[in-house]
A and B are shown apart, each in its own frame.
Chain A
């Protein structure tokens, strides 16, 4: 399977996108609606015009029409051919490649077994459930031995339970087949669990490319930070750097105590510099004001202004001198009332700096 390289891709939505995807890699394009994710897939598949160049294994494919590119494309609505049964849907690409009948039959059987859908073979799409459609669509995309697999939010219409099962199955199939894949989603959980690497797109530009952990803990921009779930972004000034720790001052005049916090030292820190620190809401611990807080923890005094049930957790908003801090507290540990004064505490190593462009 080829490595893909996009060189300065531009069109009416995408702006100068360059991206390298390794052989057999699963690259996730993550971004909000309208960021240009689907457009980029359509460009790679050859369905829409663009400037710049696309290379498969170093060879330009710009002049190759869409039907000869060897692309497996899984659309959000799956687009199963309604007038063909499951077998004919899966073998459609093989027939277009004019393969021999026995070869087509063998590949069909292989796909039916791989996707575990042998019993659906004579059914029509209208008689399939969401999960079954998903498998048939994936089988149809994989059957004609594509060089590259493009997936456009294929799981977005599934219920969470089936989604988890199919996502796991897909990941193992993708690994086994070693097929280079570009996977589009707007769901950060899906992206973080599925991708070998993730490119975050915003307004037709790539904000950051990195492994899931890199994105999750070291977002480069505020957009990426917010997209991967950092709800708390504090603007701070570094006032002192020690060996493992830095002392910073929170740039919020309303906060009078404590204005100083200690955070883990990062190479990007420089004395006197202003930076943004991101804290995941799950890292914020709430303590009663009359309880002695562990001196290792940073603490900020605030008032609970909102609480929302979020399944296992309570999503809490704390007003700290005019700015809001968000905490995700396990339901079992939450025994606070609304408007109650609390300490919002976090460990020094729970704060990550935004280290890219601002």
Chain B
């Protein structure tokens, strides 16, 4: 079995290095028109170091991270619990499905004006946006996960003596995990994308806000640092859930 080989750095890193090299050369040699707005990669790295050393980047990063973690965790747990209830009990599904199908198409950022008026510019605002953005996909993935479990497995579990509760905890939930993880994985990255957008528009702290300030000061190097942090965080969150999924379901899938 391939044991997490994909986690190790491999030849796939080579194109990235080549890309960075071309970037560096293009900027240094002034090959790009308007190269004033195009800092070389090493300058970006240098700025990254400065921002880290003077505490600006860690401060804003931690603000964003905290918001993502709180919003994502609460949103996922709420989505998971509601999804379990709706997947397991058809009456609950029938009650809530019409409401959720109306709310789901609204993009998370669409709630921003309402939340700004309701909560003001406070920490609750970005956390609520992330909550909304995480809740629905995990809700629907959990419902699908539970509903698509082979009915014969449930039938057999019952004849083997499993009660309703045991059937749920030993068969339904473990078999719904792959679907639940798909939801978690997609939303972990999405939460970062959405938080940056929310901070850019409405919040004075966080990576998104730093990005907007850098833009107004025409500091492209800082903008690129912020984008790189965002990219790495999206990727690591997604990878974390791929790893967890593999750990929990890799044996039998």
Contact = CB atoms under 8 A, between A and B. Distances in A.
Interface of A: 45, 47, 66-69, 71-73, 75, 77, 79, 81-85, 92-93, 96-97, 124-126, 140-141, 144, 150
A92 B157 contact: yes
Contacts of A126: 252-253
A125 B155 CA distance: 18
B161 A79 contact: no
A124 B251 contact: yes
A71 B159 contact: yes
A346 to B, nearest CB: 46
Given A75-B155, A79-B155, A96 B252 contact: no
A71 B155 CA distance: 11
Contact of A66 (B150, B158, B170, B249): B158
3 residue pairs, one from A and one from B, having the closest CB atoms: A93-B160, A96-B161, A79-B152
Contacts of B160: 67, 92-93, 96, 140-141, 144
A71 B160 CA distance: 7
13 contacts: A47-B159, A66-B158, A67-B158, A79-B155, A81-B157, A82-B175, A84-B252, A92-B157, A96-B161, A96-B162, A97-B161, A124-B251, A140-B156
B14 to A, nearest CB: 35
A75 B174 contact: no
Contact of B159 (A69, A97, A124): A69
Contacts of B170: 92
B109 interface: no
A72 B166 CA distance: 18
A77 B158 CA distance: 16
Given A67-B163, A92-B157, A92-B162, 6 more contacts: A66-B158, A66-B159, A68-B161, A82-B253, A83-B175, A93-B160
A32 B249 CA distance: 39
Contact of B252 (A67, A68, A73, A124): A124
Contacts of A75: 152, 155-156
Interface of B: 150, 152-153, 155-163, 166, 170-171, 174-175, 249, 251-253
Given A79-B152, A81-B153, A73 B249 contact: no
Contacts of B161: 67-68, 93, 96-97, 144
B152 A83 contact: no
Given A68-B161, A93-B161, A79 B252 contact: no
A79 B153 contact: yes
Given A45-B159, A47-B158, A140-B160, A83 B150 contact: no
Contacts of B152: 75, 77, 79
A79 B150 CA distance: 8
A72 B153 contact: no
A75 B156 CA distance: 8
A85 B159 CA distance: 19
A150 B156 CA distance: 11
Contacts of B249: 83
A67 B161 CA distance: 4
Most chain-B Cβ atoms within 10 A of its Cβ — which of A77, A92, A126?
Answer: A92
A37 B119 CA distance: 62
Contacts of B156: 73, 75, 79, 81, 140
A125 B152 CA distance: 15
Nearest to A42: B155
A47 B155 contact: yes
Nearest to A73: B159
Contacts of A69: 159
B252 to A, nearest CB: 5
Contacts of A72: 159
A83 B166 contact: no
A160 to B, nearest CB: 25
B100 to A, nearest CB: 28
A196 B158 CA distance: 28
A83 B161 CA distance: 18
A61 to B, nearest CB: 13
Nearest to A45: B159
A289 B163 CA distance: 71
B155 A67 contact: no
A124 to B, nearest CB: 5
Contacts of B253: 82, 126
A93 B152 CA distance: 15
Most chain-B Cβ atoms within 10 A of its Cβ — which of A47, A96, A150?
Answer: A96
A75 B152 CA distance: 8
Nearest to A93: B160
B252 A82 contact: yes
Contacts of B162: 67, 92, 96
Contacts of B166: 96
B26 to A, nearest CB: 50
Nearest to B249: A83
Contacts of B150: 79
Most chain-A Cβ atoms within 10 A of its Cβ — which of B155, B156, B174, B253?
Answer: B156
Contacts of A73: 155-156, 159
